[in-house]
Amino acid sequence: MIIVLMGPPGAGKGTQARHIVDKYNVTHLATGDMFREKIASGDDVGVKIKEMVESGRLVPDELTIQMIADRIEQPDCKNGFILDGFPRTVEQAEGLDMMLKEHGLFMDGALEIKVDDNALVDRISGRFSCSDCGEGYHDDFKPSAVSDICDCCGGEHKFVRRADDTAEKVKTRLGIYHEQTAPILPFYEQRNMLHTVDGMGSMEDVKINIFSVLDGLEDSNCDLHDSKEYGDVRCNYKK
């Protein structure tokens, strides 16, 4: 299964991606996480992009597309992957189309998590995560069971907050989302690939709705492959 997960900053892409990975056994490719790892490693790319990422601006398309093109060739992507935060511009969407074609793969669909702008600042300003295992939390909507201890891995005093999660930077990120990323939605809609899920409900409700879309995609795309409609394009599913 190859899925693009879309939605504004704070929509719940990372939160839901973790559930999708567990259920569908795909690899989670989050460009934001990949860039933050490069910044933390202090390598040349990390130094170059640090200011862009921490101020909420986009990293140049060429660098981002190349990073994903290299990543999908890794063995852990063989069973499928979920792209979280990529593509973010029409150029990146076209780049993705091209790289999938080159590998004889097809995209199953683009899943948009739709959330009102005014809910996003609350979600982002309350966010924190475990620096050891990556589990995400929220001060109000998903606190850890015991203060300062990760529910998931038991790590103590490992919680961190992101440098770009201030109210001012969220405004920049949201502006960029509407200007440069939202125009990709019609790109996928015209190809009958866009599936929109209401992201205003509880995390559990959003998860159920996403699973119902993905279950439907898995069934219909397997039928398409059975009908040989995709010619010699490699099937994304193990039959």
Given the complex with ligand AP5, which of 193 and 203 has the nearer CB atom? 203
Given the complex with ligand AP5, which of 141 and 230 has the nearer CB atom? 141
CA angle 142, 178, 101 (to 5 degrees): 95
Q: Does the protein bind ligand AP5 through residue 203 (CB under 6 A)?
A: yes
Given the complex with ligand AP5, which of 19 and 225 has the nearer CB atom? 19
Q: Pick from 3, 6, 26, 64: which binds ligand AP5 (CB under 6 A)? A: 64
Alpha-carbon span 237 to 43, nearest angstrom: 36
Alpha-carbon span 24 to 141, nearest angstrom: 25
Distances (CA, A) of 23 to 16, 30, 53, 210: 11, 17, 30, 11
String marking each residue 130-149 x if it binds ligand AP5 according to CB under 6 A: ------xxx--xx-------
Annotated catalytic residue 13: yes
- Could you give the 3-state DSSP secondary structure of residue 3? strand
Indicate which residue of 38, 88, 123, 207 is catalytic. Answer: 88
String marking each residue 6-45 x if it binds ligand AP5 according to CB under 6 A: -x-xxxxxxx---------------xx--x----------
String marking each residue 161-200 x if it binds ligand AP5 according to CB under 6 A: ---x--------x-------------------------x-
Alpha-carbon span 155 to 144, nearest angstrom: 11
Q: Does the protein bind ligand AP5 through residue 95 (CB under 6 A)?
A: no
Indicate which residue of 36, 38, 173, 207 is catalytic. Answer: 173
Three-state SS letters, 159-220: EECCCCCCHHHHHHHHHHHHHHHCCHHHHHHCCCCEEEEECCCCHHHHHHHHHHHHHHHHHH
Q: Residues in contact with ligand AP5, total (CB under 6 A)? A: 37
Residue 158's Cα: distance from chain center in Å?
23
Indicate which residue of 13, 36, 38, 123 is catalytic. Answer: 13
- Asked whether the beta carbons of 56 and 163 are under 8 A apart, the reply is no
Annotated catalytic residue 50: no
Alpha-carbon span 234 to 103, nearest angstrom: 8
Annotated catalytic residue 127: yes
Q: How many CB atoms lie within 10 A of CB 190?
A: 9
- Which positions are catalytic? 13, 88, 127, 162, 173
Binding site for ligand AP5 (CB under 6 A): 7, 9-15, 31-32, 35, 52-53, 56-59, 64, 85-86, 88, 92, 123-124, 126-127, 136-138, 141-142, 164, 173, 199, 202-203, 206
